[in-house]
Amino acid sequence: MTAAPHQDALDQVRAIADAVLYEGYLLYPYRASARKNQVRWQFGVLVPPAFAGRATGEQDCAHSEFLLEPGHRATLHARVRFLQVQARVVEVADTQGVYQEVPSATVDGIYLSTWDEAVEREIDADLPVTGLLAGEAAVPFSVPGAVSTEEHPRHRDEPGVRTVRRTWPLRGVLRMRADALDGPYGGLRLTLRVENTTDWAAGDHGRAEALRHAFVATHTLCHLSEGRFLSMTDPPEWAAAAAKACRNDRGWPVLVGSPDRADTVLVTPIILGDYPVIAPESAGELFDGTEIDEILTLRTMAMTDEEKRQARATDPRASELIDRVDHLPPELLERLHGTVRYLRGVTAKEPPTCTEPKPEAPWWDPGADASVDPGTDHVTVGGIEVAAGAKVVLRPGRRRSDAQDMFLDGKTATVRAVLSDVDGETHVAVTVDDDPGADLQDAQGRFAYFSPDEVEPVPGDRT
């Protein structure tokens, strides 16, 4: 039986979606007792409305807007994915046979620990785009709660030990609407909203309890049967203003899949660039994505046997991770040490003229070339010479989509230097004017760097 077209497309990007789903799920050193594993679930958390109303910064919905050019009979398939927290409690029977919760227990040499696991959930919806143009479509969904008990074998005189797993019911709604863009070019703006509508009385409960009624690592995959989605960081010129006007809260849309197609979008709580991929050198998920695979792998190898025993008992995924690292072949470890993704050839009809470096100065020393002076060199932008001291407006995103740079869009900055690298590329070093630490950054030489096409000279400035 042939799979539906959207299923094939979504299967191709599952690795990226799973990386988002489990980002920060479990942090090194992968033990339940580790302090940083006591405060989990940081990305894409949608709490129940009663808890969101406390103004603690937690929200009950994620709102995203992005652009598309659908075919005449296009259908939009949306798949909402998240983790449902599952409490895993180890219980030991007392002398009266009454079970009591304990942090951990050992049965036949196997270490058991109380821990919050997670269960993957997916909600699918197929809607014709023409229907979304007619008005908002609301797709309610629910996830039931469940309780299961696992008895552990014991000897005759030992107390009973069991593991109880429990999830609590969840309710939510997926809302979608399409609106035609102004102007002669066509195109639509899609609004997608995921809401947690779980009816739960928060009372005096804290975040740990609220998480059991929350959607965790919430993200949405959207596939268009006909047509294409537009990049939010590099849209065509006619759609640039519409893309900039889109509002995205707790969900950022990026193109995923094959770069020669644009029919699938991942709305992620983690800012990514278009067409992200999993590094082929990675041997498997390490969850602690703020670290480098090689560092985490070496650190995990260095854990003691007791630490590994506790880590294995924390979560089945931790156990799999420890076993994988323990048996990682040397040649795979070597692949993590460094990889060149591509080599760019540099050619020129006429080699650049430069002063011969002094024998005592290495080629990379700025003082080796007397013709270069970052403090006085300039670059022409829009017919205006930009040099140290000039005022510019920052316009990142034309050539890259670095998250930190995107936050500086529209900011006024002061040029501190114009630099050239060994490949002949020019870079404009700046400090942001409304940054209270700009003077200190200037004194320390800590600048933000942009390409000439990512800055606009301030009109009238002749500094």
What percent of the chain stands above pLDDT 70? 87
Amino acid 34: pLDDT: 84
Q: Tell whether 323 is covered by a domain.
A: yes
Phi, psi of 366 (to 5 degrees): -55, -30
Of 338, 340, 446, 42, which is closest to residue 217 (Cα–Cα)?
42
Q: How confident is the model at residue 361 (pLDDT cuts 50, 70, 90)?
A: low
Instruction: Please write the tens of the pLDDT for every residue from 170-225.
Output: 999 999 999 999 988 889 999 999 999 999 988 888 999 999 999 999 999 999 99
Mean pLDDT within 267-276? 92
Q: Is there a single domain that holds both residue 193 and residue 288?
A: yes
**Beta strands 378-381 and 384-387: pairing type?**
antiparallel
Choosing from 313, 331, 349, the residue where a domain stops is 331
Same domain, 59 and 139: yes
pLDDT digits 0-9 by tens, 310-327: 888 888 888 998 989 888
- Are residues 413 and 321 part of one domain? no
Q: Tell me the range of 2-16, 45-59, 334-348 where mean pLDDT is highest.
A: 45-59
- The answer as to whether 345 is a domain residue is no
Q: Residue 366's pLDDT is what?
A: 54
Res 2: pLDDT? 45
Q: Answer yes or no: is pLDDT of 420 > 70.
A: yes
pLDDT higher for 273 or 154? 273
Q: Which residue has the higher pLDDT, 3 or 52?
A: 52
Domain span at 399: 373-457
The pLDDT of 147-170, averaged and rounded, is: 89
Bridge partner residues of 379 (DSSP): 386
Please report the pLDDT score of residue 99 as a whole number. Answer: 93
Residue 175 lies in a domain: yes
pLDDT band at 45 (very low <50, low <70, confident <90, very high): very high
Closest by CA position to 123, among listed 203, 212, 56, 196: 196
Examine the domain organization and report whether 309 and 429 are in the same domain.
Answer: no
Mean pLDDT throughout 230-250? 94
pLDDT tens column, 108-136: 888 899 999 999 999 999 999 999 999 99
Q: What is the DSSP letter of 141?
A: E
pLDDT of residue 344: 58
Q: Six-digit token pair at 157?
A: 């005189």
Q: Is 419 within the bounds of a domain? A: yes
Is the domain of 389 the same as that of 443?
A: yes
Residue 421, pLDDT score: 79
Banded model confidence at residue 1, pLDDT cuts 50, 70, 90: very low
Q: Quick one: 128 and 223 in the same domain?
A: yes
Rounded to the nearest integer, the mean pLDDT of the chain is 86
Residue 71 has pLDDT above 50, yes or no: yes
Q: Is 253 in contact with 233 (CB distance < 8 Å)?
A: no
CATH number at residue 395: 2.30.30
The span from the CA of 4 to the CA of 364, in Å, is 56
Number of H helices, E strands in the chain: 12, 22
Asked whether the predicted pLDDT for residue 89 surpasses 90, the reply is yes
Q: Within a domain: residue 356?
A: no
pLDDT exceeds cutoff 70 at 353: no
Indicate whether 283 and 405 sit together in one domain: no
In the listed set 272, 297, 331, which residue is the last one of a domain according to the structure? 331
Q: Is residue 44 part of a domain?
A: yes
Domain boundary among 267, 302, 331: 331
Grouping H, G, I as helix, E, B as strand and the rest as coil, residue 410 is coil
Lowest mean pLDDT among 166-175, 186-195, 252-261, 272-281: 272-281
Same domain, 324 and 408: no
Asked whether 170 and 45 are in contact (CB, 8 A), the reply is no
314/432 same-domain check: no
Both 327 and 419 in one domain: the answer is no
Distances 328 to 312, 335, 448 between C-alpha atoms, Å: 17, 11, 39
Any domain includes 170: yes
Is residue 284 over pLDDT 80? no
Judge whether 106 lies within some domain.
no
pLDDT of 219 reads: 96
Are 317 and 175 in a shared domain? yes
Per-residue pLDDT for 146 more than 70?
A: yes
pLDDT at 400 over 80: no
One domain, residues 325 and 225: yes
What is the domain count for the chain?
2
**371 band by pLDDT with thresholds 50, 70 and 90:** low
